[in-house]
Amino acid sequence: MKVLATRRYPGPAFEELEDVEVQPLSELRSTRPEIEALAVANEPVPLDLLPGLRLVANFGVGYDRLGVDELRSRGVAVTNTPGVLDAATADLAFALILATRRRVVEGDQRVRAGAWSGSWADGLLAEELTGSTLGIIGLGRIGRAVARRAQGFELRVLYTQRTRIDTDLGEYRELDDLLAEADIVSIHAPRTPETTSLLDARRLSLLKDGAVLVNTARGEIVDETALVGELVSGRIRAGLDVYVHEPHVPDELLALPNVVLTPHLGSATRQTREAMTRLMVENITAFERGEPLITPIPD
Ligand code: 8YV
């Protein structure tokens, strides 16, 4: 089966693909009817150029940019890589929670600028993390991994979720109540029509003064213009790994001390990326053998 991969995906499993061509989608110039499977990283799939496509194997758990409705209507199977990136993404959420809450980047910049002139007591006082309240939006696999880490920091955990679940990982709250009560809010929901702009200007205004918002999910879940307004005013703090128009980051954020910015690093550990490649390749080979897909996207 002829596979097109939009890049050489990391790790040894990629070498197991027998008939693979590596080419970014932006370089496809003509129709390629012989391509039956596409290995892709949440990029829009050009079905007009790939009329023979039967499988899209996504490198990543989120598949919001693939154009899934169109793929389904043409009978193209779609897989993703859930589970293997939960720990890495939860770890990054905590890195952002700690960095933002404890003003780590401001401290780093002060040292590098040669501006650390006072004593240990000279400013940069933060709010304590231990004992504070964490609100998790989306208690799926990644949200639960964040909740488990929160226990080690003695955080009180609130969560909100489309359907209320029975769990001892946190207390359920309606979204608006969670936003008003939490000291830190971390987003772990997929981007869907229901979650796009879920945190709009009204909901952002519910956050407490000095609250921390962390987003390692998708930029589109937050109204970015409203978020920029809240951050420019200095009312809240944020740790952001995702943006609406990646790799563009709103200019207004770049000089702000109350924001920590990372370039979509959620799954970016060697072990996790290699496991993502392995799961993607296993889905492709299962399809090729006519076996059930390992992780088809949910209906
Ligand atoms: C990927 C991600 O780096 O899995 C996801 O949903 O956002 C990241 O792990 C990105 O989607 C590229 O596939």
Q: DSSP per residue over 39-52, as a string?
A: EESS----TTT-TT
In ligand 1, which atom is closest to the CA atom of 63? 6
Please write the tens of the pLDDT for every residue from 70-83: 999 999 999 999 99
CATH number of 3-83+269-288: 3.40.50.720
- Is residue 286 within 8 Å of 17, Cβ to Cβ? no
Q: What separation in Å is there between the alpha carbon of 263 and the centre of ligand 1?
A: 12
In ligand 1, which atom is closest to the CA atom of 242? 7
Strands (E) in the chain, as ranges, are: 3-5, 20-22, 37-40, 55-58, 77-79, 133-137, 156-160, 171-172, 184-187, 212-215, 237-240, 259-261
Tell me which residue has its CA closest to atom 12 in ligand 1. Answer: 41
Please write the tens of the pLDDT for every residue from 99-117: 999 999 999 999 999 998 8
119 — pLDDT class (breaks 50, 70, 90): confident
- Is residue 2 within 8 Å of 35, Cβ to Cβ? yes
Q: Assign 151 to helix, strand or coil.
A: helix
Please write the tens of the pLDDT for every residue from 192-235: 999 999 999 999 999 999 999 999 999 999 999 999 999 999 99
For ligand 1, whether the C-beta of 42 sits within 6 Å is: yes
Region 26-55 average pLDDT: 97
pTM over 0.95: yes
| pLDDT score of 8 more than 80 | yes
* Beta-strand pair 133-137/156-160: parallel
Supply the pLDDT for residue 121. Answer: 62
Delimit the CATH 3.40.50.720 region(s) of the chain.
3-83+269-288, 86-261
Region 84-105 average pLDDT: 98
Pick the closest to residue 295 from 122, 96, 82 (CA basis).
Answer: 82
CATH T-level topology, domain 86-261 = Rossmann fold (3.40.50)
Catalytic residue among 21, 70, 154, 246: 246
